[in-house]
C-alpha cells in the first residue's frame, strides 16, 4: 500500500468503527499501521495451503 | 526463605503464617520505594488471613501444601474487593472485583496468601514495565535497567526477595521476558492449561497465565496448585491436573534435547545467547533444530495481538485517548483497524506452524532457545541493536518468545548469569501439555548450578 492509501484507509476504517481520529491523533496511528502492513506483507505472500484451518487449542 | 521452606516451617509449627506474611510486608516496605514492583499492598487483610491459618493449625487442622506462603499477583488478576487496573488509571473507577481470579482462589485453597498487586505495562501491551500512570519498575539486578514486561512488577518482586512466588500473564512473552531480564525462574504453561477466569483479557487467542519463583521446586508447586481445567474459560482444556512436582528429580535422563537455530540465532546477540551457551557447555553440544518460517510466526503473533487487542480495547482507548498510556495507545487504535483477512491468515498460519513443530517433537523432547535478543536494556531506551540491526525496542524484546507462545507450547525460563554478568534467560520448550519436561530440564540446570536466581544483591 502507498502511504497516501494507508492514511486514507486508517482515517476511513477508524470512522467506520466509531474510532474517529483527530488530526493530531491520525499520524501516529498511520505510522503504526504502516509498520503493521510491512510485517503482514510476507505472511500474505506465503503459499499457505487452502485446507489449513484455524485451530487455537491443542487437542491431544 | 523459599515458598516450600516457608510452608514446611508453618506446617511443622516452626514459623507462624503471620511471621511469614509479616516478613514479606516488611521487605516490601523496605525495598519497594526503590523497585516500584507493587501498585497496591493488602497488608492488614493478608495478616488477618495468615492469623486465621495459624488459628487453624492451633486447632489441630491439617494445613495445605503452600500454607502461609505470601505471593503477589500482576494487577490484571482479580483480587476480591479490589479494583483491577490492568496497569491503567482509566480503570480506577471500575467496580471492585466480586471474586478472586480462579487461580488465586486455587492458590488460597493451597494455603498461599496474596500480599499485593504488581506493576505492569498498561493492558499488558509492552515488554518493559515503563508505566506512565504508576511509574516504571526498576530491575533489582541493575536499577538503571528495565525489569522487562509486561509482568515486570511480579518478576522484580521475586528477584528482590519481597515474595517467593508471583503470578503473571504471557501473551507474547510477558512472563518469559521479565523472568529472563530480572534473573528469576518463570513458567508459561501450554495455551489452554490454566483457566484465565477473573483475569483482565488482552488477546483472547494468545493470553496465557504463568508464574515466577527463585527456584524450580517453588515454581512447580505454584503451577501444580493452579492446574485443572474449568468451563468458565472457553479456551481452557477440560483436562484434570497433571502435577509435575514428582517428576523434577528425573532431570534430563532419557530426554532428547536440541537447540533452535536459524531465526533464534539471528535475533540474539552475545548477551541474549549467553545463557544458552553456558547451558550447552554443561549439557554438551546440542543438535540444532530448525523451524521453518519462524519469522512468519512472529508476524502472525504480532497481527493477532494487534487485531484482538485493538478489537477488545480500541473503544476504551479512543474514549480516554488523552489519559491512556502513550506507549501503547496508537498500537491499540491501529490494531483495531487490522483487516479481517490479515488476521485470519495469521490464525491459519498458526495451524501450519504448529504442524511443523509437531514434526520436530518426533525427533526431540525439549528445545532450547534464548529468551530475549539482549539482556536488560536501560530505562527510557527507545532502540536496540541486535547483531548490527537497529530495532524499535519496546515491540522487539519479544522476538524470540512470540513464535513459541503463538504455537501455544509450554516454556520454562531458566536464568543464567556468569560472575558479574547480567542474567540471560534460556527458554526450555516442550510439546503441548509437557510442562513436566520443561521443569525437569530447568531443575537439572539449577541442580548443576548453571541456572540460579538468588535474591538480588543489596536486597538480602
Alpha helices of B36-128 — where are they, by DSSP H?
43-58, 102-109
Please tell me the total count of domains within chain B. 1
- Which residue shows C-alpha cell 503463538? B406
Say if the Cβ atoms of A43 and B349 lie within 8 Å. Answer: yes
Residue B234 placed within a domain: yes
- Its domain, for residue B413, covers 3-447
Residue B171 placed within a domain: yes
pLDDT at A3: 85
In chain B, what is the straight-line distance between the N-terminal and C-terminal CA atoms, in Å?
11
Which residues of chain B are under the pLDDT cut of 50?
Answer: none
Q: Which of residues 23-52 of A touch B (CB under 8 A)?
A: 25, 28-33, 36, 39-40, 42-44, 46, 48-49, 52
Of A10, A48, A54, the CB nearest to B337: A10
Question: Nearest C-alpha of chain A: how many angstroms from B301?
Answer: 10
Q: What is the CATH number of the domain that holds B96?
A: 3.90.1300.10
Question: Angle B340-363/A23-45 helices, nearest 10 degrees?
Answer: 40
- CA distance linking residue B157 with residue B159, whole number of Å: 6
Query: Mean pLDDT across chain A, nearest whole number?
Result: 91
* Paired residues of A50 in beta bridges: none
B150 tagged catalytic: yes
Q: In 3-state terms, what secondary structure has residue B415?
A: strand
Among B88, B77, B39, B82, which residue's Cα sits nearest to residue B313? B88
What sign does the CA torsion over B113, B116, B119, B120 have?
positive
Residue B459 placed within a domain: no
pLDDT at B370: 98
**Given the residues B150, B300, B328, B405, the one annotated as active site:** B150
**Given the residues B151, B154, B174, B300, the one annotated as active site:** B174
pLDDT at B418: 79
Say if the Cβ atoms of A40 and B350 lie within 8 Å. Answer: no
Secondary structure letter of residue B262 according to DSSP: T
pLDDT at A57: 62
Among B407, B412, B409, which residue's Cα sits nearest to residue B442? B412
Residue B89 placed within a domain: yes
pLDDT at A47: 96
Q: Is A21 on the interface with B (CB under 8 A)?
A: yes
Grid cell locating B97 = 472485583
Q: Round the CA-based radius of gyration of chain B to a whole number and report it.
A: 20
| Number of C-beta neighbours around residue B29 at 10 A | 12
pLDDT at B460: 83
Helix then strand then coil, in percent of chain B rounded to 5, is: 40, 15, 40
**Bridge pairing between strands B208-213 and B165-170:** antiparallel
Confidence class for position A58, pLDDT limits 50, 70, 90: low
* Paired residues of B135 in beta bridges: B131
Residue B410 placed within a domain: yes
Among B103, B309, B94, which residue's Cα sits nearest to residue B198? B103
Contact in structure between B414 and B425 (CB atoms under 8 Å):
yes
Grid cell locating B334 = 491501529
Measured CA distances, B79 to A7, B108, B142 (Å): 42, 11, 30
Grid cell locating B305 = 495481538
Residue B145 placed within a domain: yes
| Number of C-beta neighbours around residue A55 at 10 A | 13
- Which residue shows C-alpha cell 549439557? B283
For chain A, the structural domain boundaries read 3-43
pLDDT at A60: 45
Amino acid at each position: 500500500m502507498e502511504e497516501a492509501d494507508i492514511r486514507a484507509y486508517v482515517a476511513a476504517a477508524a470512522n467506520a468503527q466509531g474510532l474517529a481520529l483527530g488530526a493530531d491523533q491520525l499520524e501516529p496511528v498511520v505510522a503504526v499501521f504502516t509498520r503493521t502492513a510491512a510485517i503482514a506483507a510476507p505472511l500474505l505472500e506465503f503459499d499457505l495451503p487452502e485446507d489449513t484451518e484455524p485451530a487455537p487449542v491443542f487437542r491431544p | 526463605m523459599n515458598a516450600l521452606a516457608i510452608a514446611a516451617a508453618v506446617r511443622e509449627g516452626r514459623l507462624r503464617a503471620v511471621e511469614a506474611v509479616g516478613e514479606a510486608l516488611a521487605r516490601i516496605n523496605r525495598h519497594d520505594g526503590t523497585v516500584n514492583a507493587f501498585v497496591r499492598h493488602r497488608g492488614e487483610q493478608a495478616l488477618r488471613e495468615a492469623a486465621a491459618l495459624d488459628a487453624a493449625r492451633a486447632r489441630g487442622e491439617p494445613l495445605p501444601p503452600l500454607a502461609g506462603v505470601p505471593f503477589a499477583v500482576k494487577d490484571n488478576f482479580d483480587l476480591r474487593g479490589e479494583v483491577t487496573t490492568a496497569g491503567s488509571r482509566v480503570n480506577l473507577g471500575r467496580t471492585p472485583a466480586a471474586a478472586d481470579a480462579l487461580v488465586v482462589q486455587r492458590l488460597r485453597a493451597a494455603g498461599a496468601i496474596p500480599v499485593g498487586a504488581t506493576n505492569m505495562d498498561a493492558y499488558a501491551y509492552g515488554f518493559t514495565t515503563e508505566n506512565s500512570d504508576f511509574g516504571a519498575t526498576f530491575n533489582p539486578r541493575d536499577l538503571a535497567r528495565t525489569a522487562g514486561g509486561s509482568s515486570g512488577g511480579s518478576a522484580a518482586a521475586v528477584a528482590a526477595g519481597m515474595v517467593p512466588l508471583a503470578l503473571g500473564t504471557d501473551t507474547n512473552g510477558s512472563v518469559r521476558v521479565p523472568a529472563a531480564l530480572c534473573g528469576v525462574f518463570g513458567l508459561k504453561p501450554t495455551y489452554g492449561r490454566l483457566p484465565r477466569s477473573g483475569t483482565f483479557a488482552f488477546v483472547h487467542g494468545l493470553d496465557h497465565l504463568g508464574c515466577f519463583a527463585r527456584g524450580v521446586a517453588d515454581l512447580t508447586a505454584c503451577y501444580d496448585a493452579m492446574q485443572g481445567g474449568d468451563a468458565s474459560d472457553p479456551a481452557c482444556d477440560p483436562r484434570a491436573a497433571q502435577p509435575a512436582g514428582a517428576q523434577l528429580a528425573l532431570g534430563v535422563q532419557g530426554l532428547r534435547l536440541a537447540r533452535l537455530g536459524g531465526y533464534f540465532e539471528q535475533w540474539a546477540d552475545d548477551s541474549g545467547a549467553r545463557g544458552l551457551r553456558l547451558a550447552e557447555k554443561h549439557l554438551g553440544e546440542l543438535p540444532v533444530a530448525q523451524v521453518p518460517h519462524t519469522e512468519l510466526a512472529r508476524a502472525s503473533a504480532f497481527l493477532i495481538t494487534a487485531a484482538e487487542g485493538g478489537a477488545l480495547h480500541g473503544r476504551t482507548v479512543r474514549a480516554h485517548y488523552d489519559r491512556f498510556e502513550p506507549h501503547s495507545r496508537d498500537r491499540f487504535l491501529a490494531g483495531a483497524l487490522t483487516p479481517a483477512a490479515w488476521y485470519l491468515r495469521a490464525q491459519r498460519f498458526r495451524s501450519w506452524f504448529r504442524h511443523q513443530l509437531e514434526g520436530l517433537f518426533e525427533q526431540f523432547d525439549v528445545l532450547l532457545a534464548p529468551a530475549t535478543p539482549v539482556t536488560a536494556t536501560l530505562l527510557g531506551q527507545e532502540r536496540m541493536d541486535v547483531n548490527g540491526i537497529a530495532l524499535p525496542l519496546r515491540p522487539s524484546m519479544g522476538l524470540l518468545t512470540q513464535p513459541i507462545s503463538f504455537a501455544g507450547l509450554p516454556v520454562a525460563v531458566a536464568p543464567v548469569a556468569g560472575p558479574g554478568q547480567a542474567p540471560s534467560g534460556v527458554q526450555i520448550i516442550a510439546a503441548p501439555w509437557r510442562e513436566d519436561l520443561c521443569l525437569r530440564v530447568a531443575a537439572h540446570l539449577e541442580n548443576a548450578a548453571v541456572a540460579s536466581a538468588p535474591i538480588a544483591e543489596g536486597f538480602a
